[in-house]
Amino acid sequence: MNCETTLPLLEAYLDNELDRADAREVEAHLDTCEACRNALGKLDDVRRALRDGALKFTAPPGLRERIAATQLANPEHTRRPRWFSVAAACALAFGAGGMSMHLLNSPQHDQTAHDVFASHWRALAATSPIDVASSDRHTVKPWFAGKVAQTPVVQDFADHGFALYGGRIDYVGDTRVPVLVYKHGQHVIDVFVLPTGTSLSSSTDQGYRLDTVDLGGQPAAIVSDMDAAETAKLRELLKGG
Amino acid sequence: MTATTDTWIGELAQQHLDAAYNLGRWLLGNEQDASDAVHDAYVRAARAAHTYAGGNARAWWLAIVRNCCLAKLALRKRETHLRAVENEPSIADVEQRAEADQRRAQVAEQLRALPVEFREALVLREIEDLSYREIADVLNVPIGTVMSRLSRGRAMLQRAFTGAPEKTA
């Protein structure tokens, strides 16, 4: 990494929003570059000024009491939804290292879609959406081995206009998942290979589209800004392999 | 037990009351308006509880608080058209807690001087320690927008700290 590639990542680094591989590269550059260290220092000055306790207001006691004393007009709406306790239990199991819970209930499933979109956007915002660059599936597949529980099926569809661009490891919730990255014209397409048993349905968010596909027995999510027809084409190719 | 405390909305509101009030204070500038907005948000959240579709409950609650604050701001804007002088929000109690520490009062003033979209992103990130994704949920904007608002907000504060003139970008 050099200054040009490091500077745009400094804030995400400071905010602890970089994945470990990018964070390590930023750190390696910081070790050798005083200018970038100074830039980070200036960002940290802003942080320290704002994190000064004097800037954080606490609720006046009167407000707490006022809320506690407010009788709500329609109590049945305010009752905890039935899945809430299930979700809370799942969140605990998940935090403890469980991997299979995501799929027990539908709210979680919206969260999975949300996570997948967020990871895609974050990757687009980073300097490079890939950790390993290669159009050769024989390079990409072994790269995943040892990094994720299950290495995905890796195929290249350059002949059909969807060239394999590389791969990366990303997060969906707290789970590390392999992501295959394809290019189609100007579009960067992420294929998130999800843990077996993940249920997810197609959705769109701010012009981006998520479609599901079965990839050699594993559920996967295709995410990009391609239109429905182009997405369907890639979906067929992935399914057919 | 009252009807309130055994509802999850009540628990949620009480648990994140300081965060809600802090956001309200930075958006509205005074205790009365911030308290009223948080109270409005609580009533609104309770009415909308059945629409909560999972995900981060704190972000959902703060998004409602923010909407109530913005509604108050819009109302205030209409009212100030009728007045000759706009009321500057008071920073008196920040100053008081800082015990005449000029620097802190100055930072508070500089943060308050930022346009609301940068101020709220910075308050959520730096004071409330929310992740990019949580901020995106509260503000209802893409993560990329959160990143660029934080970045611009920080740059504006850096310039303010060093006393450099504001760039008009």
d(CA A82, CA A110): 17
Using the predicted structure, report yes or no on whether residue B39 has a pLDDT greater than 50: yes
Show the domain range for A209: 106-240
Same domain (yes/no): A120, A18: no
- Residue A13 placed within a domain: yes
Domains B1-90 and B93-169 share a fold: no
Residues 6+ apart with CB under 8 A from A76: none
Using the predicted structure, report yes or no on whether residue B125 has a pLDDT greater than 90: yes
Q: Using the 8-state DSSP alphabet, how is residue A183 labeled?
A: E
What number is the average pLDDT over the span B1-10? Answer: 58
Q: What number is the ipTM of this complex? A: 0.75
**Mean pLDDT score across all residues of chain A:** 81
pLDDT computed for residue B69 by the predictor: 94
Domain coordinates in residue numbering, chain B:
1-90, 93-169
Q: Which of A85, A102, A86 is nearest to A172 (CA)?
A: A102
| Helix B143-162 × helix B102-113 angle, to 10° | 140
The CATH number of domain B1-90, selected from 1.10.132, 1.10.1740, 2.60.40, 1.10.287: 1.10.1740
Same domain (yes/no): A181, A67: no
- Residue A43 placed within a domain: yes
The CATH number of domain B93-169, selected from 2.60.40.3080, 1.20.210.10, 3.20.20.210, 1.10.10.10: 1.10.10.10
B26 neighbourhood in chain A, CB within 8 Å: 57
Using the predicted structure, report yes or no on whether residue B91 has a pLDDT greater than 70: no
pLDDT tens per residue, range A27-37: 999 999 999 99
Comparing alpha-carbon positions, the chain B residue that sits nearest to A62 is: B35
Q: Give the one of A50, A63, A83 whose C-beta lies nearest to B111's C-beta.
A: A50
pLDDT tens per residue, range A141-162: 888 877 777 788 888 898 899 9
What percent of chain B has pLDDT above 70?
80
pLDDT computed for residue A193 by the predictor: 92
Residue A110 or residue A188, greater confidence: A188
Nearest CA to CA, how far is A1 from chain B (Å)? 21
The total number of structural domains in chain A stands at 2
Q: Identify the band that residue B68 occupies on the pLDDT scale cut at 50, 70 and 90.
A: very high
Asked which of A136-150, A152-166, A210-224, B85-99 is least confident by mean pLDDT, the reply is B85-99
Which residue, among B35, B103, B148, B156, would best test binding to A if mutated, counting the most A CBs under 10 Å from its CB? B35
pLDDT computed for residue A241 by the predictor: 59
Across the interface, whether the CB atoms of A11 and B151 are under 8 A apart is answered yes
pLDDT computed for residue A130 by the predictor: 80
Across the interface, whether the CB atoms of A54 and B10 are under 8 A apart is answered no
pLDDT computed for residue A103 by the predictor: 35
Q: Is B85 exposed, middle or buried (0-12, 13-18, 19+ CB in 10 A)?
A: exposed
Question: CA separation (Å) from B53 to A84, A117, A130, B48, B133?
Answer: 10, 17, 32, 11, 16
Same domain (yes/no): A113, A219: yes
Whether chain B has a CB inside 8 Å of the CB on A186: the answer is: no
Residues 143-182 in A contacting B (C-alpha not used; CB under 8 Å): none
pLDDT computed for residue B112 by the predictor: 92
- Residue A195 placed within a domain: yes
**Whole-structure pTM value:** 0.54
- Residue A98 placed within a domain: no
B39 neighbourhood in chain A, CB within 8 Å: 63, 66-67, 70
CA B110, B118, A18 angle in degrees (round to 5)?
115
pLDDT computed for residue B103 by the predictor: 79
What number is the average pLDDT over the span A1-13? Answer: 91
Question: Does the CA dihedral B133-B135-B141-B147 come out positive or negative?
Answer: negative
Q: Identify the band that residue B77 occupies on the pLDDT scale cut at 50, 70 and 90.
A: confident
Which of A65-69, A196-200, B24-28 holds the top average pLDDT? Answer: B24-28
**Mean pLDDT score across all residues of chain B:** 82
Same domain (yes/no): A21, A73: yes
Using the predicted structure, report yes or no on whether residue B97 has a pLDDT greater than 70: no
The tokens for A179 are: 């992501």
Centre a 10 Å sphere on the Cβ of residue B154 and count the other Cβ atoms it contains.
23
Strand partners, A199: none
> Which single residue is written with the structure tokens 């979906």?
A235
Using the predicted structure, report yes or no on whether residue B5 has a pLDDT greater than 50: no
Centre a 10 Å sphere on the Cβ of residue B165 and count the other Cβ atoms it contains.
6
Q: Identify the band that residue A55 occupies on the pLDDT scale cut at 50, 70 and 90.
A: confident
Q: Using the 8-state DSSP alphabet, how is residue B141 labeled?
A: S
d(CA A21, CA A112): 23
Which residue, among A17, A58, A66, A70, would best test binding to B if mutated, counting the most B CBs under 10 Å from its CB? A70
pLDDT computed for residue A87 by the predictor: 53
A170 neighbourhood in chain B, CB within 8 Å: none
In terms of DSSP bridges, do strands A163-172 and A218-224 run parallel, antiparallel, or are they unpaired? unpaired
- Residue A101 placed within a domain: no
Asked which of A61-75, A79-93, A169-183 is least confident by mean pLDDT, the reply is A79-93
- Residue A15 placed within a domain: yes
The tokens for A218 are: 């594993």
Q: Identify the band that residue B166 occupies on the pLDDT scale cut at 50, 70 and 90.
A: low
Across the interface, whether the CB atoms of A63 and B111 are under 8 A apart is answered no
Centre a 10 Å sphere on the Cβ of residue A231 and count the other Cβ atoms it contains.
22
Same domain (yes/no): A124, A53: no
Comparing alpha-carbon positions, the chain A residue that sits nearest to B39 is: A67
- Residue A97 placed within a domain: no
pLDDT computed for residue A119 by the predictor: 84
- Residue A54 placed within a domain: yes
pLDDT computed for residue B84 by the predictor: 40
d(CA B149, CA B89): 23
pLDDT computed for residue B22 by the predictor: 96
